[in-house]
Amino acid sequence: MIKRQNPSTPEHSRDLAADGGALSMSHNDSRSFFNLSQLVLSAGQIKPSPALKHSKITYFEVEIVDVQSKKQICIVDKVPPASTILDVKHKFHKACPQWYPSRVGLQLEHNGPFLKDSISIQSLAVSSIVTLYFTDLGQQVGWTTFFLTEYTGPLLIYLLFYIRLSTIYDQVESRKNFRHPVVHLACFCHCLHYIRHLLETLFVHKFSEGHTPLKNMIKGCAFYWGFTSWIAYYINHPRYTPPSFGHKQVSYAALAFLMCEAGNHFINVALAHQTNSGNRTCFPSPTYNPFTWLFLLVSCPNYTYEAGSWISFTVMTQTLPVGIFAFLMVIQMSLWAQKKHKLYLKRFYPEVRRKAAMIPIIF
């Protein structure tokens, strides 16, 4: 007789209890893991501490040293690698408020050139400490203010002489003597020249470096204002004598003056358009405008037209002060043209290498 096994035996009960306990523990662990995962998800992504986040970023220390005494002025610390020289100047101004960023000149070497504001600190750094030499550039003015002041003076000064103030000329002699038409034409041309300069300063020219020393503006104003007073005094004098060849000399010279003024304007517009468009890969090429064809012969046609304007004005008025002023302007502009021509040769060698600087055919 085969006996059935009683499911309620102690051994079977222990097995069931053991299996049931295991199942119960496994179920509890699953619920605990599920609850923990839900808690982590509800808390969001764990963020690293700021110290760990920026631990790999290297900061520089910029040591500012006086260029004359070789003494340390201050140390600008925690300078990010992407900072520029202009950023360092602003931080230096906070440490030393008496020196504005515009009058601060920084050099990498004792006798080296001044660093441009756009240069990054990282490109200069050899180690974590960068030493820069400081030079006080003096009181600075903006380029727009510089040119507006320089060109407004001649415009107003010439008009004061043109109306023949009683403090300048004898009124009795001024009423008796008849004014030659070239006197009125000279006033028109002179005013046109400086009005063009003023309008181009406001609406055409784009200046790179933002400031220039105040002493440069004083020198420029003394030069232009002084020569304008000398020129205007003789042309508007009651005893002024007209040109030797009369109407033909005045007419041809005035026509040449107007053509040079127009050419100068169109060249300045072409150069400004090149800068605004950002196309720096090639030298400005002539367009359908005949005044821009001078680009085929010279690299600085704006100076060529400027010199032509003053030479034409000299022939038109036949006055010694105008001739001296034109001679000095030609010399100065030829120096500027040679300097720019050298820069153009570095940037646009294939296009500029067979051109003259300012005067055609003279290489």
Of the candidates 332, 327, 334, the one whose C-alpha atom is nearest the C-alpha of residue 304 is 334
* pLDDT attached to residue 362: 57
The pLDDT tens digits for 280-301 are 557 788 889 999 999 999 999 9
91, 143: one domain: no
110, 211: one domain: no
Distance of alpha carbon 343 from alpha carbon 90, whole angstroms: 30
Q: Identify the domain boundary among 113, 137, 161.
A: 137
Residue type, 294: L
- Quick check: is 32 in a domain? no
251, 356: one domain: yes
Of the candidates 196, 64, 195, the one whose C-alpha atom is nearest the C-alpha of residue 135 is 64
Distance of alpha carbon 245 from alpha carbon 32, whole angstroms: 112
Which element (helix H / strand E) includes 131? strand 129-136
325, 257: one domain: yes
304, 333: one domain: yes
* pLDDT attached to residue 354: 77
**At a CB cut-off of 8 Å and minimum separation 6, what does 191 contact?**
155, 158, 159
Which element (helix H / strand E) includes 225? helix 214-235
User: What is the tally of structural domains in the chain?
Assistant: 3
Largest CA distance in the chain: 164
Beta bridge partners of 126: none
* pLDDT attached to residue 182: 96
- Quick check: is 253 in a domain? yes
Contact 279, 270 (CB under 8 A): no
**At a CB cut-off of 8 Å and minimum separation 6, what does 198 contact?**
147, 148, 151, 152, 155
Phi and psi angles of residue 57, each rounded to the nearest 5 degrees, phi first:
-85, 130
Beta-strand pair 60-66/129-136: parallel
69, 170: one domain: no
* pLDDT attached to residue 10: 43
Residue with tokens 């680009």: 295
213, 271: one domain: no
Q: Identify the domain boundary among 204, 224, 239.
A: 239
Domain with 192, as residue range(s), is 139-239
213, 179: one domain: yes
Which element (helix H / strand E) includes 345? helix 320-347
Which element (helix H / strand E) includes 318? none
Residue type, 86: L
Which element (helix H / strand E) includes 274? helix 246-277
Contact 235, 317 (CB under 8 A): yes
Q: Identify the domain boundary among 239, 260, 287.
A: 239
212, 295: one domain: no
- Quick check: is 34 in a domain? no
70, 101: one domain: yes
Low-confidence ranges of the chain (pLDDT < 70): 1-57, 208-209, 275-281, 362-363
DSSP three-state, residue 286: coil
203, 221: one domain: yes
- Quick check: is 5 in a domain? no
- Quick check: is 271 in a domain? yes
353, 260: one domain: yes
The pLDDT tens digits for 2-52 are 344 444 444 444 443 444 444 344 444 555 545 554 544 444 444 444 443
- Quick check: is 192 in a domain? yes
**At a CB cut-off of 8 Å and minimum separation 6, what does 269 contact?**
204
- CATH code assigned at 74: 3.10.20.90
- Quick check: is 325 in a domain? yes
Distance of alpha carbon 356 from alpha carbon 345, whole angstroms: 11
- Quick check: is 44 in a domain? no
DSSP assigned state of 210: -
